[in-house]
Chain A
């Protein structure tokens, strides 16, 4: 049995606000295995980005974090900043939605990639530049020898995203955390960048945590999926478990909400009623209960645990898994 690369247990993150404490992540537990792509899916406020920022130690000091995140045998939560810096950008690298948050506008792209390389490796300046040029070539930047000397603003949006991916690949990371990596891009550019991400992952053999709201991107890239709602994992399973053997009402609601490009159907969509909960005042019991068509009295009494669904490693936070599975089977038959 292989050991997980990243093992998160009971992670909680609370922010102070004028209206009271907001718990953005509530007792998250999950594993990322070496080489796999784990998608973390959820809508705004579900806690998907906060989770990754907590793991990376990038949350403001005012955030209260508890729980554990073991990466490759090392505890990340509460780790010394010096230790974190040795890991960040080397063993764990991040790809953001907006590349300008990762690229410094006053240095050339080459300078920044070279810095990332020399920071973690005992390597000559010349060799680092060669490696950086090669990385830009790998991510499909045309004429990398010339472009490596340009500034980020001289790149197009898609090229900046590639440059950031090149930087993330620079030190052969074991884990890539990609937070909405293609959300800001046009669809033809998104296709290019997704291909580059896939290639980067194949070349480095890294595992990936892909944070996204786009179920299309998930369907094309992920091995396993965590569906998040109100700061907790609501369903976890393989890509086929989540899409075809859905065991959670929220996941089912998401799938019913999106029109499918290849479908002729003009039938009404089946949206989730209501709005996402206010994290300041989570409803009693299951936080999804007020919007859930399967809800009964028991859902009011206590929040369900993650219960196993048929199949290995498939679990759902719901008391009515059987009914959901049945409903899904009926809708895809």
Chain B
């Protein structure tokens, strides 16, 4: 049995809402509110959810780019959350991040060579040696060595993301957190970057935490997938299990809402329409956070928050009434004698 490379236990990151001239705290945003998960070596864990679900804050809290409020993060068995500054700097060699907006995350006044070399220089490497390493690495991410002399504005979006990936790779990390790495890119470029990520994962033996809102991309790249809703993981399973027999009603609804780029598939599908909007993470509903939109919610769901429980080997769901394999959310709703807004995904 392999040891996980990353373990996150009951992680919470709360932000105070401050108002008025005395900046008194008037509320709290429960951005990440009790997340537990692990990542195995060489594995890709996908994290999906809608805006405000806390997936970005989770990624940053793992690296302590945002200081978590409570809970622990361990990297290869070592507690990251209690590491001092010096140790944290060492740990960040091992754990890197790639951001969504490749332009905002690259200093426009530095040539690419210096941007990618900066982490090496910070860690004390001489300029000459650092530049040699950068030149070799630029080739691996599909750029040319002489691209190093240019500035970020001279590159297209896809190339900038390659630069961001090169910078994340330069310290030879074991874990990279990818925060919406392809969502700002055009479709044709997106596929190039996804392939590049898969290729460098194999070549460098990396583990990925792949944070995204695009469920199709996440299924494609991930080994396991965690679904987040209002700061919590509501379901976690192997990718095919999660996509083919989801146990949590939110996952079922989310999957049924995604338009599939295949007209025949759309003609055959029915879509579950959730009522209402996402509640605010500053004011999450009591009990199960999903109960306000859940088609199978019952009395217990309104008061008692469900824990993330294993429904079958490796399949976890936080629901009082998880959908059993072979059953469906639609059938569950019908057994309760309730109405579900089902619509044709495509009218014929």
Contacts and interface: CB of A to CB of B under 8 A. Distances in A.
A189 B258 CA distance: 10
B187 A213 contact: yes
Q: Is the interface of B mostly helix, strand, loop or mixed?
A: helix
Interface string A256-271: 1111111111101111
Contacts of A195: 271, 273, 343
Given A158-B277, A243-B262, A275-B156, A191 B188 contact: no
Contacts of A253: 188
Contacts of B195: 268-269, 271
Interface in B48-100: 50-51
A220 interface: yes
A156 B51 CA distance: 13
Contact of B271 (A191, A217, A219): A191
Contacts of B190: 257-258, 271
Interface in B214-230: 215-217, 219-221
Interface in A21-36: none
Contact of B277 (A159, A187, A215, A273): A159
A217 B271 CA distance: 13
Given A186-B51, A192-B273, A220-B259, 5 more contacts: A156-B277, A254-B188, A257-B188, A257-B191, A275-B156
B220 A266 contact: yes
Given A156-B277, A186-B213, A189-B277, A261 B187 contact: no
11 contacts: A187-B258, A188-B253, A189-B278, A192-B274, A219-B262, A239-B263, A259-B194, A261-B219, A262-B260, A265-B220, A272-B192
Given A187-B50, A188-B254, A213-B186, A260 B262 contact: yes
B198 A257 contact: no
Interface residues of A, number: 50
A261 to B, nearest CB: 4
A220 B263 CA distance: 6
Interface in B147-162: 156, 158-159
Interface in A215-274: 215-221, 239-240, 243-244, 253-266, 268-273
A332 B273 CA distance: 31
Contact of B255 (A261, A270, A276): A261
Nearest to B186: A43
Interface of B: 50-51, 156, 158-159, 186-192, 194-195, 198, 213, 215-217, 219-221, 240, 243, 253-266, 271, 273-274, 277-278, 343, 345-347
A323 interface: no
Contact of A219 (B50, B243, B259, B274): B259
Contacts of B260: 216, 219-220, 260-262
B261 A255 contact: yes
A215 B265 CA distance: 13
A261 B258 contact: yes
A102 interface: no
A213 B187 CA distance: 8
Given A156-B277, A188-B253, A43 B188 contact: yes
Contacts of B273: 191-192, 195
A97 interface: no
For the complex of A and B, list the 10 residue pairs with the smallest distance between their C-beta atoms, beginning with the closest.
Answer: A216-B259, A271-B191, A259-B220, A257-B191, A191-B257, A186-B50, A215-B261, A272-B188, A43-B186, A269-B191
Contact of A187 (B189, B243, B254): B254
Contacts of A64: none
B220 A269 contact: yes
Contacts of A254: 187-188
A215 B263 CA distance: 10
B186 A44 contact: yes
B257 A190 contact: yes
B215 A187 contact: yes
A218 B186 contact: no
B259 A217 contact: yes
B63 to A, nearest CB: 25
Residue among A243, A254, A272, A275 with the highest chain B CB neighbour number at 10 A: A275
A306 interface: no
Nearest to B158: A275
A191 B270 CA distance: 11
Contacts of A276: 156, 186, 188
Nearest to A221: B346
Contacts of B188: 43, 253-254, 257, 271-272, 276
Interface string A189-227: 111101100100000000000000111111111000000
A219 B277 contact: no
A188 B262 CA distance: 19
B191 A258 contact: yes
A311 to B, nearest CB: 15
B277 A220 contact: no
A43 B262 contact: no
Given A191-B273, A269-B195, A220 B346 contact: yes
A273 B191 CA distance: 10
A143 to B, nearest CB: 12
B142 to A, nearest CB: 10
Interface string A87-112: 00000000000000000000000000
Contacts of A272: 188, 191-192
